[in-house]
Chains A and B, each alone.
Chain A
Amino acid sequence: MVYAERNIWATLLATAVVIPCYVIVILQQVGGRPLTSVDWLPTMLWAIGISIAATVVLGIVWGIIAARRDPKGATTSDVRDRDIDRMGGRIEHGLLVVAGLGVIALCAVGADVFWIANAMFLGFAVSTFVGSIARLIAYRRGLV
């Protein structure tokens, strides 16, 4: 597995773990109150911070392990990695546009800031997740 593919796996794993944890923590705070009364901001900031940190740490640890077997290839990327990254980026961008339009629609109907912030957060999470999956499929099945 090449350097860039490992980093995509790290991103995917971090996202797949942190996002459900965020939802669980938010739902635990509800306790019969309206969902919009939950203090979501600290939890969201922690979720974003932890997912970034987990991605970096996982990538480094995985890189160290990979470097023992293939020191030269541990941090090497090439034109195929860049092509696959561009393809994944286009998918991510499309999903972020959809999320942005959703946020505008929520603002237009005067939705609570809880829903506006979480719609954008969901957009980030889904675009990252789907973009990572698309990249991994390209690594496994090919990009022609």
Chain B
Amino acid sequence: MVKPTLVTNSIRARREEARLTQADLAGRIGVTRQTLIAIEQGKYSPTLELAFQIARAFEVGIDDLFQYPED
């Protein structure tokens, strides 16, 4: 059983707001569509570098896209 991550993200909402398809965004950040799907569904925690790339694609800060619960 895979341990679920506590990190959540709002990439899908941002992407739909920007009217981008998964393929569009995946192409912009240099990953496969399957990887973007896994990130959106919380099945893959992106590297810090990839997280910055995604945030930059939406022109927002990393905190605006990824959330981690308070203690």
A residues contacting B by CB (< 8 A) are 1-2, 73, 76-81, 83, 138, 141-144
Contact = CB atoms under 8 A, between A and B. Distances in A.
A144 B34 contact: no
A2 B32 contact: yes
A80 B2 contact: no
Contact of B43 (A78, A79, A81, A144): A144
Given A79-B50, A80-B38, A144 B31 contact: no
B2 A143 contact: yes
Given A143-B2, A144-B2, A80 B30 contact: no
A70 to B, nearest CB: 9
Interface in B47-62: 47, 49-50
Interface in B1-54: 2-5, 30-35, 38, 41-47, 49-50
Interface residues of B, number: 20
A118 to B, nearest CB: 34
Given A79-B47, A80-B44, A144 B32 contact: no
A143 B31 contact: no
Contacts of A80: 31-32, 34-35, 38, 44
Nearest to B43: A142
B32 A73 contact: yes
A48 to B, nearest CB: 31
A69 to B, nearest CB: 12
Nearest to A76: B32
A143 B32 contact: no
A47 to B, nearest CB: 33
Contacts of A1: 34
A5 to B, nearest CB: 8
Contacts of B43: 141-144
Nearest to B39: A80
A78 B30 contact: yes
